[in-house]
Each structure stands twice: as C-alpha cells, then as structure tokens.
Structure 1
Amino acid sequence: MSPQHFMEMASFTLNLVGLVVCIGGLTLVHRTRHRLPGYLLAGSGFLIAASPLLYAMLAAPR
C-alpha cells in the first residue's frame, strides 16, 4: 500500500483526532497558567487535521 492510499484512508480519522486535540488546546488557553501549552497543542491539532491535505500538496507529481 502506498503512502498516498494510506493518507486517503486515514484522512477522516486524522481530521477527527486533530479536531479533538485542537479543541483541547483551545480549552487550555482559557486558563492563564496553561496558555503557551494550549497554543502549542492547538497548533499541533491543526497540523494533525491538515496532514492529509499537506501530504497531498507536497507529494503530488509535478
């Protein structure tokens, strides 16, 4: 199985996991003590959710 097929199959799961991680990070932002880790967690959640699209953009034949 090629990496492109795997990313197509896992895109829904990665989007869902990324959304949950991002929401968890944004929840931590509301607490003043955990502001920076919350932003980092929200950013990593966005990258997890966007990874199938980013992979398709970067791995596309030119």
Structure 2
Amino acid sequence: MSRLVDTAAAALGTGVKPATMRKWLQRGKLTKHGHDYYGRAIVDLDEIRAIQRTKDAA
C-alpha cells in the first residue's frame, strides 16, 4: 500500500532533504503523484525508503 505525502512530510518521515527529493523527481528516480495546495510534490514514502535501501546497499 502506498503512503502518499508531500515532500515536507516525507522529509520528516525519512530524513531525506526536500532538495534531494526534487533532484530524484527531475532525474526520474522518484514518481510524482500530483502536488498539494502549496505546490509541493506528492510522493510515496515507500518509494523513498526503497531508494534509500538501494543507496545503502551500494
């Protein structure tokens, strides 16, 4: 089950900076699921954690 949140909430939940998430979005590593009222991207927490696990394994 995906947990969709804005980048600010994702930063609090994962420790990944919003700027890093924006880079991942631009590079196609992270999927944007829309945006909130303030223009922040909506992202999936599970997808961010999967990227973190991949980076930790490398």
| TM-score, normalised via structure 2 length | 0.31
For the pair shown, the structure with the greater C-alpha radius of gyration is 1
TM superposition score normalised by structure 1: 0.30
Of Structure 1 and Structure 2, which has the larger fraction of its residues in helix? 1
